[in-house]
Amino acid sequence: MKKVLVTGATGFIGGNLVRESVRRGNSVRAFVLPGDRGGAGLKALGVEVYSGDIRSYGEVKNAVSGMDIVFNCAAVVTDWAPWRLFREVTIGGMENVCKACIEAGVQRLVDISTNDVFGTDESRVMDETFPLRPWHEPYPDAKIEAEKVAWHYYRQYKLPVTMAYPCWAYGAGDKTFVPLLADAIVKRDLMFWRKDVIVWPTYIENLVDLLLLISEDQRAVGNGYLVHDGESVTLQDFCKGIADALGVRPVTTRIPYFAAYAAAVVMEFLWKLLRRKERPLLTTYTVKNLGSRLRFSIEKAERELGWKPKVTFRQGFAKTMEWLKTLDRETLKEK
């Protein structure tokens, strides 16, 4: 039995990590923001819930104390927030976690990064040997800076760090990917701005399976691993699958890429000028992300660790659609 801490434990990935860790017999501590209502559900699983802010070193230090394995899932998971928040939470939080892990002598720190950190090169199949390349967008660029912090502690202080690079994580309980696409499809707000956009779905059970593997396999120390379901799908087909599951007409509206990007620039400017807190319908990150044909290999995880996705994309998507159909269509954006 391992003593496991999960930061960002009420999020989609963090929550699934907590539940699977408990199922495997580990002693789990969840680090959640004060007042987070998701903590009650974790307590019901027998999880020790520690309330604190990732920006507070003292609170992070107390949460990490006595732990064997730390999964850092805490980050600003949006493309619409002040850079100050990304700097304090995603980057500063990573610094606090690393320092606390050194002091506590943890056996492993697993950081959940993103495939975005490898940039936007469509000319080659990207793998973990690719350099970190900024998007000039806050979410991926903050993840890059946070990763640099983690590798600094690995090199300078021998902190046993392992990095995971999930692609498009989805599954029951998803709050940012499938429900937002479904909401846009139902409301006819969705449109495409490039043909044959590539999506690399990462079913949550596959992701958690790899995360738990790399948290204990000694070969993973000092390494990072891309993860997805082992196959890609076009964004158009992914969205058609959602529309079919919900019994609505598939979206076919298309506009030129330059028009979508220009609209996003204008919207972001106006939202900032008017100091609106809600996210614009379009952002430049969304246009780039939902208009790319990036390719990613997960061969390293198989070659070094013998890992393969246990759930196929077809199986994972079907399970996710069954969950999606149980949701209230009026509150999809709140999921």
pLDDT-derived band of residue 332, with 50, 70 and 90 as boundaries? confident
Inside any domain, residue 303: yes
Inside any domain, residue 34: yes
- Give the pair of three-digit tokens for residue 116: 């975005």
pLDDT digits (tens, 9 = 90+) for 182-217: 999 999 989 999 999 999 999 999 999 999 999 999
* Full residue range of the structural domain in which residue 74 is found: 3-173+202-228+296-310
Inside any domain, residue 248: no
Inside any domain, residue 187: no
* Total tally of structural domains belonging to the chain: 1
Inside any domain, residue 192: no
pLDDT-derived band of residue 334, with 50, 70 and 90 as boundaries? low
CATH number at residue 34: 3.40.50.720
pLDDT-derived band of residue 176, with 50, 70 and 90 as boundaries? confident
Beta strand ranges found along the chain (DSSP E): 3-7, 27-32, 48-51, 69-72, 108-112, 125-126, 161-166, 168-170, 198-199, 201-203, 224-227, 233-234, 295-296
Inside any domain, residue 183: no
pLDDT-derived band of residue 335, with 50, 70 and 90 as boundaries? very low
Q: How high is the pLDDT of residue 239?
A: 97
- Short-list 257, 205, 260, 198, CA closest to 232: 198
